[in-house]
A and B are shown apart, each in its own frame.
Chain A
Amino acid sequence: MTPAAFDDLLHDCLDERRDPFADAAICAWLDQHPGELERVADLRARLLLLPQLAPQVAVRSTRRLPALLAAAGLAGTAALVLLSTQVPAPGRVFSASLTETPPRAYAAVSFTVREVLAATPSLRLETTELRSLRR
């Protein structure tokens, strides 16, 4: 295809409000002539302002989005795997409880009196007395 034929094809595409990057012949020619890519992109960007073309391009972008997201996810996972040996693992909570102890009335108190009567390595004799008193 000559440059003139390419221009005719490109402008036909633009006149039909089609996305030039969706045309296989245009893309093949651009692949062989990457210097023309900037000019085509500029013309395409101007046509995006027209309401008839914008939805088509938006749809195409949406179709590409899952693939882009998948690629980004894979790249992120790979990065995490590579970094996991260097980044310290976050802490974990194995069990927890939070309770509020209601205030005691302390209407009564109890205490223990211990009396050690004998304490040797072979013997221990002791008494304890639990006492409870009203306050």
Chain B
Amino acid sequence: MKICLALAVLAATLPAQKLPLPGDPQRCLQLIDLGERPEAKGPELVLVEEGQSKPPRAVPAYAELIAFVRAFVQPPLQDGDDVQVLGGRWLAVLARPEQGASAEQLVQQARQRRDAVIAVDVTLAHVDAKEFDRLFAPLLPAPKPGGPHADVRQAVLDAAATATLSERLQGDKVEMLQTPTVATRPLEPASVAHIKNFSYVKDFSVSKTDGAVVAEPVIGNVSDGVRIELVAAFTGKDHIAVSCTVTNSDLTLPIPKFTTTLAHGAEPVTIQLPEVRTLRLQQTADLPPGSSAVIASPKADGTWLLALVQASLQKK
């Protein structure tokens, strides 16, 4: 927050796009114009989350944009470097001049192709171990020994391997979740959510009034559905860079419940016991045309979790 405020103050006094930093000759503050931001879509174009009376506010996900720039700036940013979005239009890069130039090039490429539309598909799947060894392991590189997640397999698959993997994901023994396709323009943060919210009685608070036990319900909230936030842009001539966060929550319905009494002589109460499985994927990848980024990881229960991210150019 302090850094953001400092950047805002500096930005307000900047006569030019670059400002040297006192006491730090290696770095400078560079402001890059992201261009006019598109107006928020009308309510009729926003997916309404079930259970909500009003459409959610269209708030640009600048965190995803910042993560995107951080991932693709070269040379990589170091401790003390920073990237922020100011006023929804200006990208502030606190880094060495060559890193600022790299960020500027990224923005320039996006602005030159601002009418292009990039579509991103994310597929999540649970696969049992036997099926994974038979169908998917041959398509993926061998795990790299050592490190905290040595069993994880990840790769960028070419178009042919992507088609094969997508076909095998259609098998009966694969529990697959296909998230909605999200289309966006270069460097424009996009998000889609299709979520049902559930309130439930998680417990009771108990008090005694005039000798009688009074029980007030304690309400909890759980969600069921999927939320996607992403930023995509071009790197090079045809490569598409994607930074996305996918969160999928699966609530077991109906919510189990039980009835009990909280004190002697009190009325019985019913308490609900929800179970929610949530899967969260954050990925930043640079993909050649037609290719996909795939990651497969074994879970503690012996099954495999597989995530496939595909990006394609819908409109040049």
CB distance from A101 to the nearest CB of B (A): 8
B275: chain A residues at CB < 8 Å are 129-132
Q: B176-213: which residues lie under 8 A (CB-CB) from chain A?
A: 202-207
**Contact indicator B203/A104 (Cβ below 8 Å):** yes
**Contact indicator A129/B276 (Cβ below 8 Å):** yes
CB distance from B150 to the nearest CB of A (A): 10
B113: chain A residues at CB < 8 Å are none
Interface: A95 (CB within 8 A): no
Interface: B274 (CB within 8 A): yes
Segment at the interface with B among A27-35, A38-46, A107-115:
A107-115
Mark interface residues in B41-72 (1 if CB within 8 Å of A CB, else 0).
Answer: 00000000000000000000000000000010
Total number of A-B contacts with CB less than 8 angstroms?
107
**Contact indicator A127/B282 (Cβ below 8 Å):** no
- Measured CA separation A106–B246 after assembly (Å): 33
- Measured CA separation A49–B175 after assembly (Å): 109
Contact-residue bracket for chain A: 20 to 34
**Contact indicator B215/A105 (Cβ below 8 Å):** yes
Interface: B135 (CB within 8 A): no
Which residue in A104, A125, A132 is a CB contact (below 8 Å) of B274? A132
Question: What are 9 contact pairs spanning A and B, CB under 8 A?
Answer: A101-B205, A107-B203, A115-B300, A117-B152, A118-B149, A125-B279, A125-B305, A130-B274, A132-B202
Answer whether A123 and B283 are a contact pair too, CB < 8 Å, given A104-B203, A105-B203, A129-B278: yes
Which residue in A101, A108, A128, A132 is a CB contact (below 8 Å) of B280? A128
Interface: A87 (CB within 8 A): no
**Contact indicator B283/A122 (Cβ below 8 Å):** yes
Interface: B163 (CB within 8 A): no
Interface centre among A104, A117, A134 (most CB of B within 10 A): A117
Interface of B is mostly: strand
Interface: A133 (CB within 8 A): yes
Mark interface residues in B204-234 (1 if CB within 8 Å of A CB, else 0).
Answer: 1111000000011010101000000000000
Seen from chain A, the residues whose Cβ lies within 8 Å of a Cβ on chain B are 101-108, 110, 115-119, 121-134
Interface centre among A104, A107, A134 (most CB of B within 10 A): A107
Identity of the chain A residue whose Cβ is nearest the Cβ of B278 in the assembled complex: A128
**Contact indicator B203/A106 (Cβ below 8 Å):** yes
Seen from chain B, the residues whose Cβ lies within 8 Å of a Cβ on chain A are 71, 148-149, 152, 154, 202-207, 215-216, 218, 220, 222, 256, 258, 260, 262, 269, 271-285, 295, 297-300, 305, 307
- Measured CA separation A122–B87 after assembly (Å): 27
**Contact indicator B295/A134 (Cβ below 8 Å):** no
B215: chain A residues at CB < 8 Å are 105
B307: chain A residues at CB < 8 Å are 125
Answer whether A123 and B284 are a contact pair too, CB < 8 Å, given A105-B206, A105-B262, A130-B276: yes
- Measured CA separation A105–B256 after assembly (Å): 19
B280: chain A residues at CB < 8 Å are 124-128
Answer whether A102 and B216 are a contact pair too, CB < 8 Å, given A117-B299, A118-B149, A132-B202: yes
**Contact indicator A118/B205 (Cβ below 8 Å):** no
Supplied contacts A107-B204, A116-B149, A118-B297, 9 more A-B pairs, CB within 8 Å:
A104-B205, A105-B204, A105-B215, A115-B299, A117-B149, A122-B284, A125-B279, A127-B280, A130-B275
B262: chain A residues at CB < 8 Å are 105, 107
- Measured CA separation A127–B307 after assembly (Å): 12
CB distance from A105 to the nearest CB of B (A): 5
- Measured CA separation A132–B275 after assembly (Å): 6
